């Protein structure tokens, strides 16, 4: 039971990172982006490529940072991967979403995002193969933090949790303390008025994709680090991430953080009762529960 | 020659069944502007319920009510309608992406349930023990398939005519009014959420009918038949044909299903053995590119919706393109 709670918190931090970017895009670009979870896959695979590259070029970097299985090479690769993923998000927006936005409505964007997700996911399968992969072949043993009740934690998981919390804190400071954060929130509140005040909308849209893509990349790498990397990361995480945004309330960044943790914990606790085969359906049950009890989520506001 | 004809019969049967589902989606998306991200759940509900209600008793899972076939098929439609009502009641009051997310979720949950609940529907092994109606009289061969094709085509025509009338009726006008300007429709005393729910449930019942026919044709259904890709295929069919145009929906179905079958055949025939594993992957990319490409370059589809000005007395043949909100 406590082990499930612990695992839930760890998974939750990954979902939170994914949900922050998604909820920002849903709030400001006003469409449910079903391709968002594919950014996690792109991040995970970009890091895999650069990790391999750095380890081959500079062998000392391939040493693990004890007690983690994370290597120096992978840490560097995460930063490059954030840039690659943010770049991919901007490219997809430029070439697909911007065009669809110009001629169609919000729901055409949702349609397009499904198409984009299908293309991205299967391109990744085609390039990297359908098999699962790992960043490190070394076995990292879990640390026993308590014998009764038995509690196990892998150092990588703790690292991922702490790093995720630090990143969220940085994002919070940027959004609440800088002009950039103000502009971003102004655009979310009222795009027209923000433009009148001299905020460039196209730059803000690019910024949303940079933040969303960067966070998604980190989430993807952490997911790969604590589970495994496969082309279906996006398919498996899209519903939990959406559940996190709905729990938190669409558009609320703090809601997304909390929602991610709640969905992570609830999914793991549900598996205490349900057979594990049912786990893909749990996020849907959470969505149903939220829609029944509090349709606009914890921090969301009603909007047509 | 008989081989070619019997293949054509097979192809037309499956394509016509899918066309019924696409027509159901057209009522939701094309005419009402409702986004259904889980077509396959309603299709699947119809398929599973039809087989459970109409099948012979089985030891290891629910079923075997041996209902008279038309009743079983109606039961399948009812099951799809109930599922749609449940999702619709919860989401149609809210902002529209909730419906997209909830329907997508219901499809995932439906597939998961069918894959795991062995006592309910046979789990991953699928649902067996269904006797195709009139099999004793017609046998299993070509004659049966021909008669079944005639049956499917009849239902396709019935659905087509029904939807055509529905769309021209005052109710259909109301659907478009709500799609185009909800506030204006509200100010005229209409209740958008109730009308949307009616359209959503009706469309899903039609998808349930398609699912029931599909399961009848194969006398078998398993979780492999209700994968998310079916939803994407059905969308591609509607978008290519032209959302809002029933003739377009049927045309799009035959084009996409033809393309899907042909690409599968070509890849299995000409691609090197080691690449065969990726046949599905390549086909999924094609479907995704068709959806994105159509939305970018021809959002109105091959046969665009004909907007009728109801006041003028005579239908006006003016094509209006892609102004959907």
Q: What is the pLDDT of residues B56-88, one digit of tens each?
A: 877 677 777 778 899 999 999 999 999 999 999
Q: Which of the four pLDDT bands, split at 50, 70 and 90, describes residue B121?
A: confident
Residue of A95, A112, A117, A118 to mutate, testing the B interface (most B Cβ within 10 Å of its Cβ): A118
Q: Is the pLDDT of residue A29 over 90?
A: no
Q: Which tokens go with A229?
A: 């990397």
Q: Is A121 a member of any domain?
A: yes
Q: Is A304 a member of any domain?
A: no
pLDDT of residue A159: 87
Q: Write down the ipTM of this complex.
A: 0.89
How many Å lie between the alpha carbon of A303 and the closest alpha carbon of chain B? 6
Neighbours of B55 (CB within 10 A): 23
pLDDT of residue B147: 92
Residue of B25, B87, B94 to mutate, testing the A interface (most A Cβ within 10 Å of its Cβ): B94
pLDDT of residue B8: 93
Residues spanned by the domain of A144 = 2-293
Residue of B28, B95, B114, B233 to mutate, testing the A interface (most A Cβ within 10 Å of its Cβ): B95
How many Å lie between the alpha carbon of B146 and the closest alpha carbon of chain A? 36
Q: Hey, are the CB atoms on A32 and B281 less than 8 Å from each other?
A: no
Q: Is the pLDDT of residue B298 over 70?
A: yes
Residue of B292, B323, B324 to mutate, testing the A interface (most A Cβ within 10 Å of its Cβ): B292
Q: Hey, are the CB atoms on B295 and A295 less than 8 Å from each other?
A: no
pLDDT one-digit tens code per residue, A210-242: 999 999 999 999 999 888 999 999 999 999 999
Q: Which of A106-110, A161-165, A177-181, A261-265 has the lowest mean pLDDT?
A: A106-110
Alpha-carbon Rg for chain A, nearest whole angstrom, is 19
Q: CB-CB: which of B94, B182, B296 is closest to A99? A: B296
Q: Hey, are the CB atoms on A130 and B94 less than 8 Å from each other?
A: no
pLDDT of residue B316: 47
Q: CB-CB: which of A112, A118, A304 is closest to B295? A: A112
In angstroms, how far is the first alpha carbon of chain B from the final one? 50
Tell me the CATH number at A161. Answer: 1.10.3470
Q: Is A300 a member of any domain?
A: no
Q: Is the pLDDT of residue A302 over 70?
A: no
Q: Hey, are the CB atoms on A110 and B97 less than 8 Å from each other?
A: yes
Q: Hey, are the CB atoms on A122 and B284 less than 8 Å from each other?
A: yes
Do B90 and A288 touch, CB atoms closer than 8 A? yes
Q: Decide which of A274 and B257 is more confident.
A: B257
Q: Which chain A positions have a beta carbon within 8 Å of B121's beta carbon? A: none
Q: Which of the four pLDDT bands, split at 50, 70 and 90, describes residue A130?
A: confident
pLDDT one-digit tens code per residue, B134-187: 877 877 788 889 999 999 999 999 999 999 999 989 999 889 888 888 888 888
Q: Is A223 a member of any domain?
A: yes
Do B66 and B257 touch, CB atoms closer than 8 A? no
Q: Which residue of chain B comes nearest to A23, CA vs CA? A: B97
Name the percent of chain A lying above pLDDT 70: 97
Distance from C-alpha of A43 to C-alpha of A69, rounded to nearest angstrom? 18
pLDDT of residue B291: 93
Q: Is the pLDDT of residue B309 over 70?
A: no
Mean pLDDT score, A101-107? 82
Q: Which residue of chain A comes nearest to B281, CA vs CA? A: A122
Q: Hey, are the CB atoms on A125 and B115 less than 8 Å from each other?
A: no
pLDDT of residue A300: 72
The size of the A-B interface in CB pairs under 8 A is: 145
Grouping H, G, I as helix, E, B as strand and the rest as coil, residue A229 is strand
Residues 6+ apart with CB under 8 A from B179: B31, B32, B33, B324, B325
Q: Which of the four pLDDT bands, split at 50, 70 and 90, describes residue A139?
A: low
Looking at the structure of chain A, the number of domains it has is: 1
Cα–Cα distances in angstroms (integers) from residue B22 to residues B43, B46, B121, B163, B202, in the given order? 11, 15, 26, 12, 13
Q: Which chain A positions have a beta carbon within 8 Å of B227's beta carbon? A: none
How many Å lie between the alpha carbon of B202 and the closest alpha carbon of chain A? 20
Q: Which chain A positions have a beta carbon within 8 Å of B95's beta carbon? A: 250, 303-304
Name the percent of chain A lying above pLDDT 90: 51
pLDDT of residue A303: 53
Alpha helices in A29-151 (DSSP H): 36-57, 72-92, 98-103, 106-128
Q: CB-CB: which of B90, B97, B278 is closest to A31? A: B97
Grouping H, G, I as helix, E, B as strand and the rest as coil, residue A83 is helix
Q: Hey, are the CB atoms on A122 and B98 less than 8 Å from each other?
A: no
Distance from C-alpha of B104 to C-alpha of B37, rounded to nearest angstrom? 4
Q: Is A237 a member of any domain?
A: yes
Name the percent of chain B lying above pLDDT 70: 94
Q: Which chain B positions have a beta carbon within 8 Å of A281's beta carbon? A: 108-109, 112-113
Mean pLDDT score, A55-83? 86
Q: Is the pLDDT of residue A149 over 50?
A: yes
pLDDT of residue B273: 81
Distance from C-alpha of A140 to C-alpha of B103, rounded to nearest angstrom? 40
Do B83 and B41 touch, CB atoms closer than 8 A? yes
pLDDT one-digit tens code per residue, A254-300: 899 999 999 999 999 988 888 888 989 999 999 999 988 888 888 87
Q: Which tokens go with B32?
A: 């009402």
Neighbours of A235 (CB within 10 A): 18
Mean pLDDT score, B210-216? 96
Q: Is A301 a member of any domain?
A: no
Q: Hey, are the CB atoms on A126 and B285 less than 8 Å from each other?
A: yes
Across chain A, mean pLDDT equals: 89
pLDDT of residue A232: 92
Q: Hey, are the CB atoms on B90 and A292 less than 8 Å from each other?
A: yes
Neighbours of A221 (CB within 10 A): 31
Neighbours of B297 (CB within 10 A): 9
How many Å lie between the alpha carbon of A262 and the closest alpha carbon of chain B? 18
Q: Decide which of B192 and A217 is more confident.
A: A217
């Amino acid at each position: 039971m406590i082990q499930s709670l612990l695992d839930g918190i760890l998974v939750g931090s990954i979902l939170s990172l994914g949900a922050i970017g998604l909820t920002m895009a849903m709030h400001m670009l006003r469409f449910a982006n079903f391709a968002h979870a594919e950014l996690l896959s792109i991040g995970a695979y970009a890091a895999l490529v650069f990790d391999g590259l750095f380890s081959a070029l500079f062998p000392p970097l391939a040493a693990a940072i004890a007690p983690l299985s994370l290597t120096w090479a992978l840490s560097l690769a995460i930063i490059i991967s954030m840039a690659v993923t943010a770049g991919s998000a901007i490219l997809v927006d430029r070439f697909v979403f911007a065009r669809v936005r110009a001629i169609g409505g919000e729901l055409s964007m949702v349609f397009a995002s499904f198409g984009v997700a299908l293309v991205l996911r299967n391109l990744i399968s085609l390039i990297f193969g359908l098999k699962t992969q790992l960043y490190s072949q070394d076995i990292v043993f879990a640390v026993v933090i308590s014998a009764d009740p038995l509690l196990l934690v892998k150092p990588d998981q703790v690292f991922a949790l702490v790093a995720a919390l630090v990143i969220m804190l940085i994002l919070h400071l940027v959004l609440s303390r800088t002009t950039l954060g103000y502009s971003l929130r102004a655009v979310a509140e009222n795009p027209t008025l923000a433009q009148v005040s001299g905020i460039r909308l196209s730059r803000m849209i690019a910024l949303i994709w940079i933040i969303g893509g960067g966070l998604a990349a980190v989430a993807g790498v952490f997911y790969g680090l604590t589970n495994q990397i496969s082309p279906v990361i996006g398919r498996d995480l899209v519903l939990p991430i959406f559940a996190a945004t709905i729990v938190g309330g669409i558009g609320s960044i703090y809601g997304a953080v909390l929602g991610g943790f709640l969905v992570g914990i609830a999914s793991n606790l549900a598996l205490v009762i349900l057979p594990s085969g049912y786990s893909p359906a749990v996020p849907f049950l959470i969505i149903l529960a939220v829609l029944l009890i509090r349709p606009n989520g914890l921090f969301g506001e009603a909007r047509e | 020659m008989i081989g070619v004809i019997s293949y054509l019969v097979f192809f037309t049967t499956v394509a016509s069944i899918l066309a019924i589902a696409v027509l159901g989606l057209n009522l939701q998306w094309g005419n009402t502007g409702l986004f259904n991200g889980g077509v396959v759940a309603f299709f699947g509900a119809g398929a599973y319920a039809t087989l459970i209600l109409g099948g012979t008793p089985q030891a290891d899972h629910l079923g075997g009510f041996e209902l008279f076939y038309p009743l079983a098929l109606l039961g399948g439609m009812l099951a799809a309608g109930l599922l749609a009502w449940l999702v619709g009641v919860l989401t149609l009051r809210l902002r529209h992406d909730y419906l997209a997310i909830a329907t997508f979720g219901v499809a995932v949950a439906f597939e998961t349930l069918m894959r795991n609940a062995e006592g309910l529907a046979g789990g991953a092994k699928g649902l067996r023990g269904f006797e195709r109606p009139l099999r004793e009289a017609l046998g299993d061969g070509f004659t049966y398939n021909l008669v079944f094709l005639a049956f499917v085509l009849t239902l396709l025509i019935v659905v087509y005519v029904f939807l055509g009338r529905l769309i021209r009726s005052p109710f259909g006008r109301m659907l478009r009014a709500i799609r185009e300007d909800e506030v204006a429709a509200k100010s005229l005393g209409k209740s958008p959420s109730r009308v949307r729910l009616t359209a959503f449930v009706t469309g899903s019942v039609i998808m349930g009918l398609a699912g029931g026919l599909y399961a009848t044709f194969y006398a078998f259904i398993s979780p492999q038949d209700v994968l998310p890709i079916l939803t994407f295929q059905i969308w591609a069919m509607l978008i290519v044909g032209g959302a809002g145009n029933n003739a377009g929906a049927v045309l799009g179905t035959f084009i996409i299903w033809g393309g899907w079958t042909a690409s599968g055949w070509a890849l299995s025939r000409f691609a090197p053995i080691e690449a065969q594993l990726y046949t599905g992957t390549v086909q999924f990319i094609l479907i995704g590119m068709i959806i994105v490409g159509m939305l970018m370059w021809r959002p109105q589809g091959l046969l665009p919706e004909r907007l009728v000005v109801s006041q003028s007395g005579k239908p006006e043949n003016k094509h209006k393109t892609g102004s959907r909100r």
